[in-house]
Amino acid sequence: MESKLPRISRLRPPSSLNSTAAKPKIVAATKRCRSPEEAPSSKRQRFSGGENKPPSSGNKPAAKLKTSNSSGSLSGGRPSSKLQSNISGRATSNPRTATVKPSVVKSAKPVGASSRPVKPGASNNGRPPASVNTSGNTSGCGTGSKAKRPAWDLKGRLQDMEERLKQHTEQKSDFQTQMREWQEQQAQLESQNSKLSGTVKEKEMHFTNMVTENDGLKRKLSEAEEDLYQVRKQLERDTENFEFTKASLRRQKETLEGEVASLQQEVAGLKSSVAQLTASQAGIRSELEATKLALEQATRTIADRDAEIVTHKATISGHEVTIEEYLQSFQEHETVRRQLHNSIQELKGNIRVFCRVRPLLGDELYGSDGDIPHMAFTGEEHRTLELERLGEVSLSEGNGKYEFTFDRVFDPSTSQATVFEEISQLVQSALDGYNVCIFAYGQTGSGKTYTMEGPSVEDEENMGVISRALLQYEFEGSFLEIYNETIQDLLERHAADVKHDIKMTGTSGGDVMVTNLTTVQVTTENQITHLLKTASQNRAVGETQCNERSSRSHSVFRLKITGNNTITGETCKGTLNLVDLAGSERLKESGATGQRLKETQNINKSLSNLGMENHVPYRNSKLTYLLQNSLGGNSKTLMFVNVSPREDSFSETLNSLRFATKVNQCNIGTATKKIRVCEPILLIDLP
């Protein structure tokens, strides 16, 4: 905008624009028309200096020229060269000015001057040079080729002067005309100038407004740039976010594509499943129809059966009456049976012996098919066992054959269930009010513990006598071990200083009890198993202290039985002792010395006491002292003699069978029933 300012200022006309342009031309024309003769320097000075009056002659044209000059001085200064050129230019283009100007110039020339140039120094018939004459000769102006009038020709000279005045007057008229034109031009220019000034002011105002607007726009531009910067920054951040979002969306897209693929697979699988299910549904529907038909048939059948049931119920009611009558009759027979049973037991004697031979096991089977060549189980009643010494027989042994008869002989194939069936009558006797004691006697490894407790691993089919007896009754049980004449609790490990002594409750014939002995309530099979396991573990602890301790100790399982006879309605509580005795090896054959010798002596003492026919010296051993109530006249005793099938155990087997025979022949008196006061049964596993 500023660059425009100078252009606007240049449009302004100079202050001296009016009429000053004509001045130099007028002056020039005036100067050219003078001659030195007509206007001496002093006069010329006055003439051009602004005298209002002509010289003494009073010449008007001179005065008019002065006026012309004075009007030229109105400019008061030099016109600018530009304005001169403008005006000249305009004069050229203006037809009026063009007409005037040549006339001015033409008339400004000296009238009598030749157009031909005069050479300097050229002679003119002895007269002053033409140029001097021309310039100084007033008659030269406008007269042309007129000859100079003699001084005396005043009339001629006056005539010349009038001619010249006339010329000047014409020139003046021209000048005035031109002056008017110039004034008109000046007025036009001033009007134009005024208009231009207004325009300039408008432009300046417009410019100011533009500047203000420009500033505002600059501010807006700055703000816009700042906004643009912020927008760019935001755009960069948005771009970054967009890229990040794009990447995460791409990952999501990939994941989703994977899921879509797996879902598509699943859908395909489901479609095929649906197809299969649709097919199978059709099959099921037809099956359903068939089933519905069958159901309708069955419903009809049920209705028929319901009718039959009503009939049968009537029959059952009749039978129930009959059963009730039979039950009453059975109860009477049961009472008779018990009386007969006890009579038979009394007839049989109160010590009964069962012999059991275990099968060959493990390595013992090597080279055999399970047969035991030196044993024979004869007789239909399963009561006889024949032993035969194979190989060389001494003279004292005769033919080497030994026959033993017991209340029952169980061969190796006899199951635990069969064995228990045979002794269950004795357990029943305990509930009937008799003292019952069951021993297991025999050499080490002959099967005493197996018979009494069953195998070491849990095996329901091969449960022993203890477990089977316990399954029939609710009881409180305790389990003890007599090792080397010292009692140990097998259900709980006590401190070393806890003593277990045998004591009698009440007077003679009262219960025998052991101090500090743990008693457990057993009602379920699991509890029985747990009880036997605990006892076995406590025995195993003992074995680490002394090798094969279980073989060298007696274990007594004492039960306090609560039994209900559902037939007679009687209830009985008693104690049952099941005794697994220490091994019955003979002292001589055992070759024992030291501690082992002492053990064997103690064992044999207690065992031999059992075999005493008339009087058992109970106090001789802990075992007999503990079992005194079960070995006396008021008890029923069963002894298992367990026998090894090994041929190399022949002598021990023979010895055991002989001892058992002796026990079997004992008469410990007639057992008497204690009504409603059940005494303990003794089940003894003899060594």
Ligand X SMILES: Nc1ncnc2c1ncn2[C@@H]1O[C@H](COP(=O)(O)OP(=O)(O)OP(=O)(O)O)[C@@H](O)[C@H]1O
The annotated binding site for ATP is made up of 442-449
Of 275-283, 449-457, 539-547, 605-613, the window that binds ligand X (rule: CB under 6 A) is 449-457
Site of tokens 């027979």 = 333
Residue 173 sits at the vertex; the CA angle it makes with 167 and 176, to the nearest 5 degrees, is: 140
User: What's the token pair of residue 243?
Assistant: 């890229």
Known binding residues: 442-449
Nearer to ligand X, 198 or 455 (CB): 455
Number of residues near ligand X (by CB under 6 A): 17
Nearer to ligand X, 682 or 686 (CB): 686
Of residues 47, 404, 439, 450, which one binds ligand X by CB under 6 A?
Answer: 450
Cα 11 to Cα 4, 75, 194, distances in angstroms: 11, 20, 11
**Rule CB under 6 A: is residue 446 a binding residue for ligand X?**
yes
**Rule CB under 6 A: is residue 656 a binding residue for ligand X?**
no
Minimum distance from residue 643 beta carbon to ligand X (Å): 10
- What are the backbone dihedrals phi and psi of residue 438, each rounded to the nearest 5 degrees, phi first? -120, 120
Query: 536 to 595, contacts with ligand X by CB under 6 A?
Result: 550-551, 583
Minimum distance from residue 420 beta carbon to ligand X (Å): 13
Write the DSSP symbol of residue 127.
Answer: B
d(CA 528, CA 557): 12
Of residues 164, 338, 358, 558, which one binds ligand X by CB under 6 A?
Answer: 358
**Rule CB under 6 A: is residue 107 a binding residue for ligand X?**
no
Of 95-103, 191-199, 445-453, 565-573, the window that binds ligand X (rule: CB under 6 A) is 445-453
When CB distances to ligand X are compared, the closest residue is 447
Query: 616 to 635, contacts with ligand X by CB under 6 A?
Result: none
Of 101-109, 155-163, 447-455, 504-512, the window that binds ligand X (rule: CB under 6 A) is 447-455
Of residues 448, 554, 558, 636, which one binds ligand X by CB under 6 A?
Answer: 448
d(CA 121, CA 128): 10
Cα 652 to Cα 325, 454, 528, 657, 685, distances in angstroms: 56, 23, 33, 9, 17
Minimum distance from residue 444 beta carbon to ligand X (Å): 4
Minimum distance from residue 639 beta carbon to ligand X (Å): 14
- Give the rounded distance of the alpha carbon of 16 from its chain centre: 101
Nearer to ligand X, 100 or 686 (CB): 686
Residues 6+ apart with CB under 8 A from 464: 416, 449, 450, 451, 452, 453, 454
Nearer to ligand X, 72 or 687 (CB): 687
d(CA 464, CA 205): 133
Residues 6+ apart with CB under 8 A from 211: 1
Contact present, 47 and 40 (Cβ < 8 Å):
no
Nearer to ligand X, 161 or 663 (CB): 663
Closest to 668 measured CA to CA, from 604, 618, 620, 601 = 618
Minimum distance from residue 443 beta carbon to ligand X (Å): 7
Minimum distance from residue 465 beta carbon to ligand X (Å): 12
Of residues 642, 653, 656, 664, which one binds ligand X by CB under 6 A?
Answer: 642
d(CA 33, CA 69): 14
Minimum distance from residue 661 beta carbon to ligand X (Å): 19
**Rule CB under 6 A: is residue 77 a binding residue for ligand X?**
no
**Rule CB under 6 A: is residue 445 a binding residue for ligand X?**
yes
Of residues 134, 449, 604, 653, which one binds ligand X by CB under 6 A?
Answer: 449
d(CA 182, CA 176): 9
Minimum distance from residue 545 beta carbon to ligand X (Å): 16
Q: How many CB atoms lie within 10 A of CB 193?
A: 16
Contact present, 18 and 97 (Cβ < 8 Å):
no
**Rule CB under 6 A: is residue 359 a binding residue for ligand X?**
yes
From the number of C-beta atoms within 10 Å of its C-beta (0-12, 13-18, 19+), residue 605 rates as middle
Task: Give the CB-side neighbour count of residue 392, counting CA atoms within 13 A.
Answer: 1
Helix (H) or strand (E) holding 471: helix 465-471
Of residues 61, 142, 349, 442, which one binds ligand X by CB under 6 A?
Answer: 442
Of residues 269, 455, 509, 510, which one binds ligand X by CB under 6 A?
Answer: 455
d(CA 559, CA 519): 9
Nearer to ligand X, 412 or 632 (CB): 412
Task: Give the CB-side neighbour count of residue 333, counting CA atoms within 13 A.
Answer: 6
Of 167-175, 356-364, 477-485, 668-676, the window that binds ligand X (rule: CB under 6 A) is 356-364
Nearer to ligand X, 550 or 630 (CB): 550
Task: Give the CB-side neighbour count of residue 314, counting CA atoms within 13 A.
Answer: 5
Closest to 527 measured CA to CA, from 574, 559, 482 = 559
Minimum distance from residue 369 beta carbon to ligand X (Å): 17
Of residues 18, 107, 444, 488, which one binds ligand X by CB under 6 A?
Answer: 444
Closest to 356 measured CA to CA, from 261, 438, 267 = 438
**Rule CB under 6 A: is residue 602 a binding residue for ligand X?**
no
Of 165-173, 277-285, 327-335, 446-454, the window that binds ligand X (rule: CB under 6 A) is 446-454
- What are the backbone dihedrals phi and psi of residue 161, each rounded to the nearest 5 degrees, phi first? -65, -35
Nearer to ligand X, 446 or 629 (CB): 446
Minimum distance from residue 475 beta carbon to ligand X (Å): 23
**Binding interface with ligand X (CB under 6 A):** 358-359, 361, 442, 444-450, 455, 550-551, 583, 642, 687
